[in-house]
């Protein structure tokens, strides 16, 4: 819910008192202060004090507290009187201590301006007010409902805050919701919401004390509504009045944002909910309903008469148009018959001419067909001769091609045989070469082994000859020396 001229955003909900938790409605204390700024005596003309500058100075002096509303309510040569409102009553003592008795200085003025600040007195009706009013009023009878302190008049109530949820008619308040909210203070005897009466705009009733004046209800503002609530007991009325004293209405929407509205609360002085006034309104409403019904009936009768008249005019116009159309169709039919006869004769002439043309075309076509047949036969004979020659030529070419292919095959076979012989010869030579290399490798290995063996024997013999091995007899030496005796 966005703020509008009727409601304002509220950032401090600490002092709120629950009115109806289900509808998220609360009561919040009003914290207003009256500020008076004494102006200096103007010795020279032409100078003017800026109200905007005064308000900005006051806002600066009030910090960190803030004014949610600060406006000039009276401006004179000697003083400027302002009214301010804060969101919390708890901040009022500190705010008054800052402002009351302090001074400010404006640009262009050497004198300092004295400030007086006091808490604004409530204009709310007290118990003494309504008791004394109904006691002293000669046209009131405290024994009758509506002529005693039992009816509360609430105005400037936001419509959407008292509308039924999930209702198609969400723009208007619900009498059920209003009763649920205010029945917590006691049993409600009667209630009237003028906005919900569709005939109230037409209803004019004389107010109490004057038969000439009238009271009308206007619906120019669809955002707010008025309501009269009459309690059965006096103490219920007192409880409600005391609960609403010095309070403004607060609503917290589904997004958690709080908004406040300054509603007007007073006790009814107009006998609005007396039995006599209620019956008078009911009678007036019945009269209005009857007048509206008669007006609607006359309007419907006039509408039906007008529709019948229009239908009769349309019927006559249609019949006249139908007659014209019929005569036109007859003329058209005659003209069409003449045209059809003329067209028929012309068509017969055209058909006879077309038949003659077609016969000539058939004759020419027959001659052309015979010529085509002769030409076709001649062409076929030429084609047959050419075909035979072409067949003979293709047969010759086929025989030559077969010969060429046979020769090519013989050449390829011979070439393949030659290649196979060469491959076998090359494989045989490679095998012989490998066998020769293998034989040489084996001989080399055996030779190396023999050489190693002889080298080992020579080494053994050398060691024996060098004294490492002693020979036991010369016979052994002779054996080793091949039968020769050793030299001495």
Shared domain check, 155 and 221:
yes
Residues 6+ apart with CB under 8 A from 51: 72, 75, 80
What is the arithmetic mean of pLDDT over 380-385? 90
Shared domain check, 268 and 132:
yes
Query: Is the pLDDT assigned to residue 201 strictly greater than 70?
Result: yes
- What's the pLDDT score for residue 467? 67
Residue 180 falls within a domain, yes or no?
Answer: yes
The DSSP 8-state label assigned to residue 441 in this structure reads: H
DSSP annotation string for 126-191? PHHHHHHHHHH-TT--TTSTTSSTTEEEEEEEETGGGSPTT-TTTTS--HHHHHHHHGGGS-EEEE
What is the arithmetic mean of pLDDT over 150-154? 94
The DSSP 8-state label assigned to residue 87 in this structure reads: S
CB 201 within 8 A of CB 217: yes
User: The tokens of 298 are what?
Assistant: 């006359």
User: The tokens of 235 are what?
Assistant: 């103490």
Shared domain check, 114 and 163:
no
Helix, strand, coil % in the chain, rounded to nearest 5: 55, 20, 30
- What's the pLDDT score for residue 214? 38
What is the arithmetic mean of pLDDT over 57-82? 86
Boundary (domain end) residue, out of 273, 307, 336: 273
Query: Is the pLDDT assigned to residue 368 strictly greater than 50?
Result: yes
**pLDDT tens, position by position, 214-241:** 344 444 457 899 999 999 999 999 999 9
- What's the pLDDT score for residue 179? 93
- What's the pLDDT score for residue 103? 87
The structural domain count of the chain equals 2
Shared domain check, 242 and 222:
yes
- What's the pLDDT score for residue 168? 62
Residue 311 falls within a domain, yes or no?
Answer: no
67 pLDDT tier (thresholds 50, 70, 90): confident
What is the arithmetic mean of pLDDT over 333-350? 90
**pLDDT tens, position by position, 274-303:** 999 999 988 988 888 888 888 889 989 999
Residue 294 falls within a domain, yes or no?
Answer: no
Residue from 31, 1, 2 nearest 14 by CA: 31
Q: How far apart are CA 212 and CA 119, in angstroms?
A: 42
Shared domain check, 144 and 227:
yes
pLDDT higher at 309 or 204: 309
Query: Is the pLDDT assigned to residue 192 strictly greater than 90?
Result: yes
Boundary (domain end) residue, out of 214, 247, 273: 273
Shared domain check, 147 and 268:
yes
- What's the pLDDT score for residue 243? 93
Shared domain check, 76 and 152:
no
Boundary (domain end) residue, out of 229, 248, 273: 273
User: The tokens of 412 are what?
Assistant: 């390829």
213 pLDDT tier (thresholds 50, 70, 90): very low
Query: Is the pLDDT assigned to residue 55 strictly greater than 80?
Result: yes
Q: How far apart are CA 151 and CA 270, in angstroms?
A: 10
Helix (H, G, I), strand (E, B) or coil at 248: strand
**pLDDT tens, position by position, 129-141:** 998 998 888 888 8
Residue 248 falls within a domain, yes or no?
Answer: yes
Residue 213 falls within a domain, yes or no?
Answer: yes
Shared domain check, 244 and 169:
yes
Residue 439 falls within a domain, yes or no?
Answer: no
Q: CA-CA distances (angstroms) from residue 423 to 60, 96, 409, 416, 426?
A: 118, 127, 21, 10, 5
Helix (H, G, I), strand (E, B) or coil at 245: coil
**pLDDT tens, position by position, 417-473:** 889 998 988 888 888 899 899 989 999 999 999 999 999 988 888 888 886 545 444
- Residue-range definition of the domain harbouring residue 60: 31-119
CB 158 within 8 A of CB 6: yes
Shared domain check, 268 and 134:
yes
Q: Which residues pair with 29 in a beta bridge?
A: 247
DSSP annotation string for 280-333? HHHHHHHHHHHHHHHHHHHHHHHHHHHHHHHHHHHHHHHHHHHHHHHHHHHHHH
Shared domain check, 221 and 266:
yes
**pLDDT tens, position by position, 155-191:** 999 998 998 877 666 678 999 999 999 999 999 999 9
Shared domain check, 133 and 92:
no
Query: Is the pLDDT assigned to residue 267 strictly greater than 90?
Result: yes
User: Quick check: bond before 307 cis, omega within 30?
Assistant: no
**Can you give the CATH number for the domain in which 257 is found?**
3.30.70.330
Residue 62 falls within a domain, yes or no?
Answer: yes
Shared domain check, 138 and 238:
yes
Residue 315 falls within a domain, yes or no?
Answer: no
């Amino acid at each position: 819910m966005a703020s509008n001229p009727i409601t304002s955003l509220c950032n401090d909900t600490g002092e709120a008192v629950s009115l109806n938790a289900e509808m998220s409605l609360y009561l919040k204390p009003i914290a207003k202060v009256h500020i008076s700024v004494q102006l200096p005596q103007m010795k020279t003309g032409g100078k003017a004090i800026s109200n905007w500058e005064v308000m900005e100075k006051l806002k600066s002096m009030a910090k960190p507290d803030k004014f949610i509303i600060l406006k000039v309510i009276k401006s004179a040569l000697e003083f400027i009187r302002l009214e301010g409102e804060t969101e919390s009553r708890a901040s009022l003592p500190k705010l008054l201590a800052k402002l009351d008795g302090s001074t400010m200085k404006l640009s262009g003025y050497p004198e300092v301006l004295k400030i007086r600040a006091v808490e604004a007195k409530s204009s709310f009706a007290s118990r003494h007010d309504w008791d004394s009013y109904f006691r002293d009023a000669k046209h009131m009878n405290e024994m009758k409902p509506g002529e005693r302190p039992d009816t509360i008049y609430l105005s400037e109530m936001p419509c959407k805050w008292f509308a039924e949820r999930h209702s198609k008619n969400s723009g208007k308040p619900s009498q059920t919701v209003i009763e649920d909210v205010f029945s917590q203070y006691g049993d409600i005897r009667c209630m009237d919401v003028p906005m919900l009466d569709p005939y109230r705009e037409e209803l004019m009733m004389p107010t109490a004390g004057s038969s000439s004046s009238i009271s009308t209800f206007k619906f120019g503002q669809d955002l707010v509504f008025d309501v009269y609530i009459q309690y059965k007991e006096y103490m219920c009325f007192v409880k409600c009045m005391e609960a609403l004293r010095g309070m403004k209405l607060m609503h917290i929407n589904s997004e958690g944002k709080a908004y406040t509205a300054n509603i007007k609360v007073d006790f009814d002085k107009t006998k609005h909910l007396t039995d006599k006034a209620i019956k008078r309104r009911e009678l007036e409403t019945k009269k209005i309903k009857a007048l509206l019904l008669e007006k609607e009936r006359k309007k419907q009768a006039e509408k039906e008469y007008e529709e019948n008249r229009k239908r009769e005019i349309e019927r006559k116009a249609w019949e006249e148009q139908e007659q014209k159309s019929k005569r036109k169709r007859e003329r058209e039919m005659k003209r069409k018959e003449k045209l059809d006869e003329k067209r028929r004769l012309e068509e017969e002439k055209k058909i006879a001419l077309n038949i003659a043309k077609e016969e000539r075309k058939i004759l020419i076509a027959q001659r052309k067909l015979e010529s085509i047949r002769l030409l076709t036969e001649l062409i076929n004979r030429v084609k047959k001769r050419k075909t035979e020659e072409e067949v003979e030529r293709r047969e010759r070419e086929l025989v030559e091609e077969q010969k060429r292919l046979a020769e090519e095959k013989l050449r390829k076979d011979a070439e393949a045989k030659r290649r196979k012989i060469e491959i076998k010869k090359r494989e045989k030579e490679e095998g012989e070469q490998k066998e020769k290399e293998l034989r040489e490798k084996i001989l080399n290995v055996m030779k190396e082994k023999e050489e190693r063996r002889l080298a080992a024997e020579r080494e053994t013999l050398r060691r024996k000859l060098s004294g490492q091995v002693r020979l036991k007899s010369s016979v052994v030496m002779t054996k080793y020396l091949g039968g020769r005796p050793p030299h001495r």
